[in-house]
Amino acid sequence: MSNTLTHIAIIPDGNRRWAKKQGKASFEGHKHAADHTIPALYDIVIKLGISYCTLWALSPENFTKRSAFEINSLLQLIHLFVYKRIDEMNEKGIKINIIGDIAAFPENIKKDLAHAVDQTKDNTNLVFTFALNYGGRDEIIRAIKKIQTSSIQDQTISKETFGKLLDTAGMPDPELIIRTGGEKRTSGFLPWQSEYAEYAFLDKLFPDFTPQDLEMCVEDFYRRKRRFGK
């Protein structure tokens, strides 16, 4: 296989629609994903020998436009996930990473996330990144502001220099981005990093996304001929 796959990124769409189909509150779709889909996801990623997986858990639009009840429920779910899964993730050798602008999160949630990152920082089997209040344009604007407020502005800016200012500094770009839920758009997810990413769009809603679905996407990726402009 000539293709290299070190980083999979996922847009986990369809949680609320899944809950509605089940006759449940929208929050239940996110809860099912946290309790079942995500743990199965990082297990199969490790099994396949993929070193990085990034999950877009919350966009700025989600954070600002959904009801206060739903946002608070999601943040509480993050809190529960961290404390429920951190020992398991340590046992599996998973390093937790966070990207996005979490400055507006409640202090207890920020402490939870910092604790999870610190407790798993030495793990080497998989870097599992949660994109929280992450927007691609926001990320680029934040990087530009770093240039404006540092000595970097006096240097020649290259792609490599700029990449080091992004949330994903130190991570390889994703080679494969998977979106569940039937929508066929990128919605501003990792726009800089996805320059040559391959995409897979699945109709299946994220709570129903299985390890077999991910394996299918990976197999399809390896069958593709990636030209990189050549």
Tell me whether residue 13 is one of the annotated catalytic residues.
Answer: yes
Q: Coil, strand, or helix at residue 7?
A: strand
Which of the residue ranges 77-86, 105-114, 193-202, 208-217 would you say has the lowest mean pLDDT? Answer: 77-86
Predicted confidence (pLDDT) per residue in 77-94, tens digit: 888 888 889 999 999 999
Q: How confident is the model at residue 1 (pLDDT cuts 50, 70, 90)?
A: very low
Q: What is the pLDDT of residue 148?
A: 85
pLDDT interval class at 192 (50, 70, 90): very high
Which residue among the candidates 13, 112, 167, 208 is catalytic per the annotation? 13
Mean pLDDT of the chain: 92
Catalytic, 62? Answer yes
Q: What is the pLDDT of residue 92?
A: 97
Q: What digits encode the pLDDT tens for the residues 133-164?
A: 999 999 999 999 988 887 766 667 889 989 99
Q: CA-CA distance, 211 to 54, in Å (whole number)?
A: 16
What string of DSSP letters covers 143-183?
Answer: HHHHHHTSGGGGS---HHHHHTTSTTTTSPPPSEEEE-SS-
Q: Is the dihedral of CA 120, 36, 10, 16 positive or negative?
A: negative
Q: What is the pLDDT of residue 154?
A: 60
Task: Please say whether the beta carbons of 54 and 131 come within 8 A.
Answer: yes
CA distance 212 to 230: 32
Q: If residue 84 lies in a helix (H) or strand (E), which one and from where to where?
A: helix 68-91
pLDDT of residue 196: 94
Cite the beta strand spans of 28-182 per DSSP E: 52-58, 94-99, 126-132, 176-179
* Yes or no: domain 7-136+173-223 corresponds to CATH 3.30.300.130: no
| Position 31 confidence tier, pLDDT thresholds 50, 70, 90 | very high
Q: What percent of the chain lies above the pLDDT cut of 90?
A: 76
Catalytic residue among 3, 35, 62, 90: 62
